[in-house]
Amino acid sequence: MDDHDTSYRLLFSHAEMVRDLLTGFVPESWIAELDLNSLEKMNGSYVSDDLRSRHNDAIWRVRWGQEWIYIYLLLEFQSTVDRFMPVRILTYTGLLYQDLVRRQELDNSRKLPPVLPIVLYNGAARWRAPTRVSGLIQPGPAALAEFQPDQALLLIDEGAFDMDELAPLSNLVAALFRLEHHRSLAEVPDILALLIDWLSEPGQEDLRRDYVEWLRRRLRRWAPDVNLPEIHDLQETYNMVRDTVQEWKDQHHQTGLQQGLEQGMEQGSTNEARAILRRQLMRRFGDVPAEVDARLGRATRTELEGWIDRPYEVDTLEDVFRPS
């Protein structure tokens, strides 16, 4: 797991982020029935070392009436789609159930709680793989169908969202997606300004710190050629990105002015050569036909300079343009 993955997981160790993920990106009406104030992160003491190492900050539970619903949040950062992700989710869900049974955390009904498995995927390619185990099992005798697992997962493919449609949302996760998939660095300061406003309340210091940690790692990729100073809070990050964007704009403006000046000088020289040649043609041959005038208008400066001395060296207008 690289530094970016670690910092991303830290963000989703905060109840505010899980709440905004559920309310903003789980398209189910029953989300409104949850007591989101009861969101509670699991302690991560699992029987599987792999489960413990990967997901101790990503398993939550929340009250639905008097019952608990478990939110299994799997954060994926691989560059390619994992076709067998439903199988992994099936395994993790089974390990979670096994752990709840082992620790005797079931209620008096002795029934297992429902689980919502969410895969949060931020790869560049869009997800095209199955989201159910049944989509991965080859056909068999109809009588075997009832014995096959059919674990499903809720896929949230960040890059599939229209970032302009996310912009009006007052949602911490929407801001994260917009930062992760911004089209130019110039978009970043406005998003950071929103985060500064949303995370200004007392008690949000840890989430602000983890956002800064995530941004510090991402900025290395967003602006690899910039010597970034050490940043410690969101306001510093905002100031630094804003100043960097302005510096880039100033540099591009100066470059554009210089290029424009050079192009203007080049164009001026070409127009001057065209005007001289036209005058010489008129003095030598009289009126310049429209097709010849159009040819002069298309000619480059090099071509014009090659023709400019020829009106007095040839007998006809056509000979001016014949190859030497």
At 86, is the pLDDT very low, low, confident or very high (cuts 50, 70, 90)?
very high
- For the chain, what is the mean pLDDT? 81
Across the range 240-252, mean pLDDT stands at 73
What is the tens place of the pLDDT at every residue in 263-288? 544 555 677 778 878 888 887 788 88
**Percent of the chain surpassing pLDDT 70:** 83
What is the spatial distance between Cα 324 and Cα 316, in angstroms, rounded to a whole number?
14
Q: Is the pLDDT assigned to residue 147 strictly greater than 90?
A: yes
**Sequence-separated (6 or more) residues with CB below 8 Å from residue 316:** 285
Please tell me which residue, 247 or 159, carries the higher pLDDT value: 159
Residue type at 117 in one-letter notation = P
**Mean per-residue pLDDT, 98-119:** 85
Give the residue, 66 or 140, on which the prediction is more confident: 140
Cross-strand partners of 1: none
Write the DSSP string, 65-120.
TTEEEEEEEEEE--SS--TTHHHHHHHHHHHHHHHHHHTT---TT--PPPEEEEEE
